[in-house]
Structure 1
Amino acid sequence: MVAVASYSQRFAVLMKLRLQLFEFEDQPWFPAVVRAGMMDYLRFMITHLHTYRPIAPLLAEALRRTNQQHVLELCAGAGGGTEDVLQALQAENLPKVRITLTDLYPQPAAWQHIGKQSNGAIGFEPAPVNALQVPAQLAGFRAVFSAFHHFRPALGAQLLRNAVQAQTGVGVFEGAGKHWWEILLALTVLPVAQLLITPFIRPFSVSRLLFTYLIPLIPLCTIWDGVVSILRMYTPKQLLALGRQADPEGRYHWQAGKVRHAWGPEVTYLVGWPKNQ
């Protein structure tokens, strides 16, 4: 029992750290077809597990505070969870809300599918968009789902500072609570789930089947990136520090923490908006 308690304490300390390890999907040389397959899987899982439903009240409040009906999603990947977030916001009495997907590596095929499913309430920007320097013509409350951990602290603060300079609201959300058991799931249960659900992911892709079953680069890289993503996550305290670093004059209201699903999992978040709004 003493040994178990000791290991538990060590894991708890480890989870408070942020380890800047590498993820395959961040690498410019990484094959686009494998990256797309990984993003499609994440989109499917995040959407069907309703990962970001718990943050709908927070995001809805932030939209009201900033008088916004438009969410500009940065680093959108394949748009994982966006349909679910849209439905949750509509349920929060925001029936006219719309979302625009953007990414440094646009995925128009996946985004067009999402747009059709949402009857046009979700659109996208076809050109690459750098989350650190968002073009002025792309207005809206900026949101980052499942991607803020990719940014080193200096770059994370720069992303937030760019929103502060544009005087727009911003929120970052990670679909985990940074616990050791989430790493265990990423190593065991989720790979099995990926093998089972891949044939049902839409839009259909032959390359996704090829690189899942014959040359299993998608599941292997997903396992690695999934574990590393948790280790790279920021804690709420660290997120607040980045928000204040991005806003040294204290012009923004910042709020960070975790919200829990009724069935257990957590979402870590940071939201900020100008105090004069």
Structure 2
Amino acid sequence: MNLRLQLFELEDQPWFPHTIRQGMLDFLRFMITKLNAYEAALPLLQELLERTQQQHITDLCSGAGGGIAAIQQQLSERMGSTIGITLSDLYPNITAYQYLHHKSGGSIAYIPEPVNATAVPESVAGVRTIFSSFHHFPPATAKAILQDAADKRAAIGIFEGARKSWLEMLLLWLAFPFLILVVTPFIRPFKISRLFYTYIIPLIPLGIIWDGTVSLLRIYPPEQLQRMAEEVNVTDYTWRSGRAGAGVGKNVIYLIGYPKPI
């Protein structure tokens, strides 16, 4: 599936109810964590940290922080020291961030104010990452995110938890409606609203299936990511894209970029 269609996702719409959006993001966080979906990204993250001699990651467009807890723990184990992660978003999910902050013993922090990925404040340091969110942006905005990182000499890693295949689309349509109903009671932090909008008025499941379908169609394939990166106006900067991982729920499409040593 090499095509990309610029369709719309419900969670991107300003009018879309916040409670439903957060319920959808909470499900995504739960599934990414349980599947350890970004395991294949760990060597790439380690490379970015080592090349830039840093021990901190600032995650942009964090949503509900899906998979971040496992990434922080496993990356710290790989590198032999605690790697800190700061979550941020244009629409911060404070409840989820507080939960992850407490669960991680403070190793995962968050910025409570909105952070625009195309204009990250100078005060925000560390290797930048975007997990499962880059596809939300049309090409001009996506390129602006890369340009902002390059302008500020910040390393950046873009990771999408998919291979972008028709098999994934089929699994989404056939398996996810039942999966959502089964796992929802186990998602933490617990919310009555999540149960109501899953079992009584099933707006969360419908939103997940619609946005999941659109997400697969919107994901940039590696070749398009590489072309976009090479159009960024910057010197002495390295870009690399590709696919990593194998198995259901373990595939990652990535783009990494970092400044060359002076």
Q: Normalising by structure 2, report the TM-score.
A: 0.97
Mapped pair 1:30 → 2:16:
yes
SS at match of 2:162: coil
For each residue in 1:186-214, what CA deviation from the matched residue of structure 2 results, as whole angstroms up to 9, or x when unmatched?
11112211110001101000000111111
In structure 1, distance between residues paired with 2:117 and 2:248 = 33
Candidates 103, 110, 121, aligned match of 2:107: 121
State the match for 1:146 in structure 2: 132
Candidates 186, 211, 230, aligned match of 1:225: 211
- CA contact under 8 A between 2:161 and 2:249: conserved in structure 1? no
- CA contact under 8 A between 2:164 and 2:216: conserved in structure 1? yes
State the match for 1:276 in structure 2: 261
In structure 2, distance between residues paired with 1:201 and 1:183 = 23
State the match for 1:42 in structure 2: 28
Amino acid at match of 2:91: Y
Mapped pair 1:255 → 2:235:
no
Mapped pair 1:266 → 2:251:
yes
- CA contact under 8 A between 1:69 and 1:94: conserved in structure 2? no
State the match for 1:188 in structure 2: 174
Residues matched between the structures, number: 262
Greater RCO (CA < 8 Å, at least 6 residues apart): 2
Amino acid at match of 1:67: Q
In structure 1, distance between residues paired with 2:22 and 2:89 = 12
In structure 2, distance between residues paired with 1:223 and 1:262 = 21
Candidates 179, 201, 216, aligned match of 1:215: 201
Mapped pair 1:83 → 2:99:
no
SS at match of 1:16: coil
Larger radius of gyration: 1
Mapped pair 1:166 → 2:152:
yes
Mapped pair 1:199 → 2:185:
yes
State the match for 1:4 in structure 2: none
Distance of aligned partners of 1:243 and 1:186 in 2 relative to their CA distance in 1, 3 Å threshold: same
In structure 2, distance between residues paired with 1:79 and 1:95 = 21
Residue 249 of structure 1: how far off its partner (Å): 4.0
- CA contact under 8 A between 2:135 and 2:219: conserved in structure 1? yes
Amino acid at match of 2:90: L
Amino acid at match of 1:100: T
Amino acid at match of 1:273: Y
- CA contact under 8 A between 1:60 and 1:94: conserved in structure 2? no
Candidates 84, 92, 95, aligned match of 1:109: 95
SS at match of 1:270: strand
Mapped pair 1:64 → 2:55:
no
- CA contact under 8 A between 2:39 and 2:250: conserved in structure 1? no
SS at match of 2:231: helix
SS at match of 2:79: coil
Residue 251 of structure 1: how far off its partner (Å): 2.1
Question: Can you give the 5+ residue segments of structure 1 that lack an aligned partner in the other structure?
Answer: 1-14
TM-align CA RMSD: 1.2
Question: Can you give the 5+ residue segments of structure 2 that lack an aligned partner in the other structure?
Answer: none
In structure 1, distance between residues paired with 2:253 and 2:85 = 21
- CA contact under 8 A between 2:129 and 2:158: conserved in structure 1? yes
Amino acid at match of 1:158: A
State the match for 1:96 in structure 2: 82
In structure 2, distance between residues paired with 1:28 and 1:154 = 20
